[in-house]
Amino acid sequence: MKNPIIIAAIIMLAAFTACNTPERSDLTVEAVGKEKSKQKDAAKTFNFNGAQPIDSTDYVLYPLGLTEKGESGDEEIYKSRSGIQYYRNIIFYNMVTKKYHLLDNRKMLITSYSAENNAEAYGTTSSYDKLSRLIYYKVIVNDYNGDGKLGDGDPEYLFISDREGSYFKQISPDNLNVARWKEVRKTGKVLIEVTDDANGDKKFEQEELSIPYVYDIKSGALAAPVFSKDFTDSVGNLLEKQWIKKDK
């Protein structure tokens, strides 16, 4: 007859072993390797393009460039067909507090930005002083030509933020491509020249008619046309009569 104490000990040992057997993992060595590779590739979807300190502030901005794998497998900074380098986003870093944040969370391509110090424009006692300390950006956010991506052919809009990278907003109208802009420091206005897709071909060509807009920094309202349509139409008719010869 078997000893009941020995039998009980065997049963307890079996139960203990079963409880401590590791659960089966469905992740093979190959799957784990692919997951790590995926994470590694995800970390390489952008690259830092150099720190730019912002004058008279504790902030530094870091533009983030897009990367893309070419046919050779080498990663390259993504550029448009016209050679313009795109930035995916910008990180703002405070050197004193060591805090940082993205400019914005939306999908966008930044084609240019200007962080020059404009504070001297109005003097240190002016009510416009804080408002003039802006950063300007030309940004693509709208797949206007419907090719399924942001890039060449889509309009560039003018955006602004404060010098800490906050209050990021669009100031030029939708579906109009910003060709040029200039801040008029004395008046607190921004003069903007845009082009319209006048013929509806989903392209913004250099020869398209340039339309002047103005943005009021103080009011913050969306930029508005400088001249009324009735006025520009009348001017066009007058110049056509004066200067454009018609075939007899």
Question: Structurally, how many domains does the chain consist of?
Answer: 1
Handedness of CA 36, 38, 42, 45 (dihedral sign): positive
- 53-81: pLDDT as tens digits: 988 889 999 999 876 654 444 444 455 55
Higher pLDDT, 242 or 208: 242
Residue 24 has pLDDT above 80, yes or no: no
In a domain, residue 40? The reply is: no
In a domain, 9, yes or no: no
Res 99 pLDDT > 70 = yes
Task: Give every CB contact of residue 210 below 8 A, 6+ residues apart in sequence.
Answer: 179, 193, 194, 195
Q: Does residue 14 sit within a domain? A: no
The answer to whether position 25 is within a domain reads no
230: Cβ–Cβ under 8 A, 6 or more apart, which residues? none
Asked, for residue 218, whether it belongs to a domain, the answer is yes
The answer to whether residue 3 sits within a structural domain is no
- Can you tell me the distance from the alpha carbon of 87 to that of 158, in angstroms, rounded to the nearest whole number? 15
| 209 falls within a domain | yes
34 versus 67: the higher-pLDDT residue is: 67
Residue 27 predicted with pLDDT over 60: no
Q: Which domain holds residue 220?
A: 45-243
Residues in the chain: 248
Q: Which two tokens stand for residue 134?
A: 């802006």
- Apex 84 CA angle, 70 and 88, nearest 5: 70
Identify the DSSP state of 73: S
**Does residue 52 lie in a domain region?**
yes
